Each structure stands twice: as C-alpha cells, then as structure tokens.
Amino acid sequence: MSGLLCGLLLRRAGWAVDIYERVDSELSGRGAGIVAQYELIERLRGLGLATDELGVHITTRKILDAQGRLTHEIECPQVLTAWERVYRLLRDAFPPDRYHRGRGLAKFTQDANKALAHFSDGEIVEADLLVGADGIRSTVRQQCLPDVTPRYAGYCAWRALIAESTFPPDVHRELFAFMTFGLPPGEQFLGYPVAGPDNDLRPMHRRYNVVWYRPADEMTKLRWLLTDERGATHAISIPPPMIRREAIAEMRADAERLVAPQFRQVVRLIEEPILQPIYDLESPRMAFGRVAVVGDAAFVARPHVAAGVSKAADDAAALAEALQKEVDVEIALKRFEAARLAQNHRIIERARHLGAYLQASRTQEEQARAGRHSTDAAVIAETAVLDFLYV
Ligand SMILES: Cc1cc2nc3c(=O)[nH]c(=O)nc-3n(C[C@H](O)[C@H](O)[C@H](O)COP(=O)(O)OP(=O)(O)OC[C@H]3O[C@@H](n4cnc5c(N)ncnc54)[C@H](O)[C@@H]3O)c2cc1C
C-alpha cells in the first residue's frame, strides 16, 4: 500500500515511477479488516479515486460485559473496510506496465548523482530516488539501520473473518451493525463489520471482523503458540493452517469462560483463526541520501490506533510534497524526514500506551499507562481514533 501511495502521488508530482514487488502473484488481504480513517479517505479523494463505496458505515460503539450486558455506548461514525478494497483502488489506478511483480530488492548502492537498486535476479536499475516501501522486514531499512528490529509487544491477536450469513438472527441484531468490545481482565475482544469477498457491501454478503488481544509471554506462551503440529517453531508469525489444534482449542475454551455470550456464539462460527503476534518498530531516521523509507518499513504501530494505512498515506504525501518544493533530492528527503519523524513517533507511542494493559509483563511506567487506558470509558473512546494527533 505504501509503495502504491508513493507511486501515485509522485506521478502526480511529475515523476516517472516504477514499483517493484517481491511477490510474484497478485497480493491478497491477510484476512483482516481496516478502519478507513477520515485522513485516508481524504488522501484517496485527492488522488481522484472513488471512495463512496469504500466500506461499511457504522455510527455506534458498545461494550458488553462477560454476562452480555451493555455497559457503555457512544456515537463514533466510521467506515470499516477490507485491505483488498483499498489495495484494489490503488492498484487499478497505477499503470500496470510500471508495476513489476516477482522482483525482490536484494540491496542498494548510491552516489552523489544516483541510486542503484540491485535485484535478486541480478538486474540493476538506476534511479534519482529509491523509496523503501517494503514493510516490517524491509530490506532497505535493514541495510540503512541494521540495529532497528521489530520488538514483540508481549501479546498476540487472534483474528478471523466470519460470513454475515452464518450469524444467528439474535446475535446479528445485537452485534453486526456496531463496533463492539469485550474486556476480560488484561485482554480485549473486538468485533465489527467489513465488506464481504470481492468488496461486497450487500446485506448478508458482508463479513464480521473479530480481533481478540491476549497476553503471551515471549519465552513460554508465544513460543508454544508459534510451534506447529510437527514441533517446528516459527519466527514472528505462523501460517494459519499450521497453528496447532491445542492452541485453537484453548482459545475456544477460554472464550466460553471469558467473553459475553454473544461473542461466544461468534467464536463458535470461526473456521480458521489467524494468530498475529503484535510488534512495535520505530526508526530514528527515514532519509539516507537518495534513499527513503516509508510506511511499515520505518514505523509499525500496534493496531489499537488503526493508523497503518493512513500513516503510510501521510508519509507518501509528505515525500511528494518535499520533492515538489525542492529539486535537490537529498535536501528534499531531509525535509520529508523532518516533516514525518515526530508524528510517526507519536503514533507508535500512543499505540504503545493503549496496548500497555494487554502486555504479559510491564515496567512501572507501563503499569501506570495500563491503568489510564484500560478503563471501559478509555477503551471505547480511544481505540482506532486519530484525534490525539491534533491536540
Ligand atoms: C498482502 C498484505 C495483506 C495485508 N492485509 C492487511 C489487513 O487485512 N489488515 C490490515 O490492517 N493490514 C494489512 N496489511 C498491512 C497494511 O497493508 C500495512 O500496515 C500498511 O499498508 C502499511 O504497510 P506498507 O505498505 O508500508 O508495508 P506492507 O503492507 O508490509 O507492504 C510491503 C510490501 O513490500 C514487499 N516487499 C518486501 N520486501 C521486498 C523486497 N526486498 N523487494 C520488493 N518487495 C518487497 C512485500 O511483499 C509487500 O507487498 C497487509 C499487508 C500485505 C502486504
């Protein structure tokens, strides 16, 4: 997404852009919904893209206690969409002949006049500017900042998408049109509607996105969760079909004990859950001569602020603006970095504060944050809103 956003915005600013994507096949969503923040919608509109059918519109958030009783309710209008929907919009707007699939960057070199992208197939491409929009395991960032690595946050998310048509009518009535939270001690359960397959927004064709954040100590529980049926332990994440049956059975049994009866019925509908360990990543720099890093390559926030894609769009817009105002690429990149570093650090820090109470272990400072951000009133008002950026 960062690559496409940069590509589209830089083309608008008069640059000739080529995008190189390592994956050979067409990308597809990792089965999760995203909140289409107002800021992202504005950026998409600015690119002339149609945003009227971007996702499911909701107006209300709720909290249910373990007995299924409503404890809080607030108005919070938002658009909830699926990764594929936004990706498709961007991908279709970018010239296909300049989007090169199956081309992995191995390393780059640069001098005062050019950057050289060295691909794993041996080809070298010369450019005025190289943008590393290559995600959390960025090759570009690892070359520029080898000490900056993702840090495990101390908890994981179980995620799933469930077909709307499978919901029992009473659960559908109570949950489907809302963003609804459950707050077992030290945990967070969250559900909301998103588009169905092929961005279908028709009633009964949509899906319900479930996320359940649960603490998991890195050395014991996380290792167990990332160890598959054959005993192999995976690094960072585990493919859904390889998650061991005991781990899924434990999650299902815990749901029967810990969450509202309405959520228990939802968990019973999950076919193949996804397990996502949560990480923080923060870079001290984003500009390196004629090379820049953007989006998740530079900063990864925990999901509670729902800023991943809008932060990527803001990086791309700042990059295009800096390059429009300044012809010297290195100076422009320094200005881009100055425009984005502080805000990206704020987003990461805010997400860390909101997630502190979910961690398996906490420092004293994190303990204080956990107290502030774990109350029902705080969770319902602070999750997935970007207001904090403007105060
Ligand atoms: C396939 C996919 C599905 C996703 N689904 C969801 C979702 O459902 N919900 C959600 O909230 N977020 C999802 N995300 C994450 C979300 O897109 C990001 O948080 C946000 O868009 C900003 O990330 P990014 O574009 O900077 O990095 P990423 O989204 O990680 O994209 C980086 C891209 O760079 C490519 N790449 C990596 N290394 C190289 C290399 N050396 N050479 C060339 N290419 C390389 C990767 O294949 C990838 O396509 C998904 C990401 C991907 C890639």
Pocket of ligand 1 (CB under 6 A): 1-2, 20-23, 27, 29-30, 32, 34, 83, 104-105, 133-136, 139, 295-297, 308-309, 312
Q: Nearest C-alpha to atom 49 of ligand 1 is from which residue?
A: 21
Which atom of ligand 1 is the closest one to the Cα of 32?
Answer: 8
DSSP string, 262-276: HHHHHHHH-SS-EEE
Q: Indicate the burial class of 27 (C-beta count within 10 angstroms; 0-12, 13-18, 19 or more).
A: middle
Break the chain into its structural domains and give their ranges. 2-51+84-150+280-369, 61-79+151-279
**Residues of the chain under the 50 pLDDT cut:** none
Correct CATH for 61-79+151-279 of 3.40.50.300, 3.40.50.720, 3.20.20.70, 3.30.9.60 = 3.30.9.60
CA of 134 to the centre of ligand 1 (A): 7
Give the tens place of pLDDT for each residue, 37-88: 888 999 999 999 998 888 999 999 999 999 999 999 999 999 998 888 899 9
List % helix, strand, coil for the chain (3-state, nearest 5): 40, 25, 30
Q: Nearest C-alpha to atom 8 of ligand 1 is from which residue?
A: 32
CA of 293 to the centre of ligand 1 (A): 13
CB 279 within 8 A of CB 151: yes
Which atom of ligand 1 is the closest one to the Cα of 312?
Answer: 22
Per DSSP, the three-state class of 353 is helix
Question: What distance lies between CA 10 and its chain's CA centroid?
Answer: 23
pLDDT at residue 296 in the model: 97
CA of 199 to the centre of ligand 1 (A): 19
CATH of segment(s) 2-51+84-150+280-369: 3.50.50.60
Q: Nearest C-alpha to atom 30 of ligand 1 is from which residue?
A: 135
- What Å distances lie between residue 299 and 157, 203, 235, CA to CA? 19, 36, 20
pLDDT at residue 387 in the model: 80
Mean pLDDT of the chain: 94
Give the tens place of pLDDT for each residue, 352-377: 999 999 998 888 888 888 888 999 99
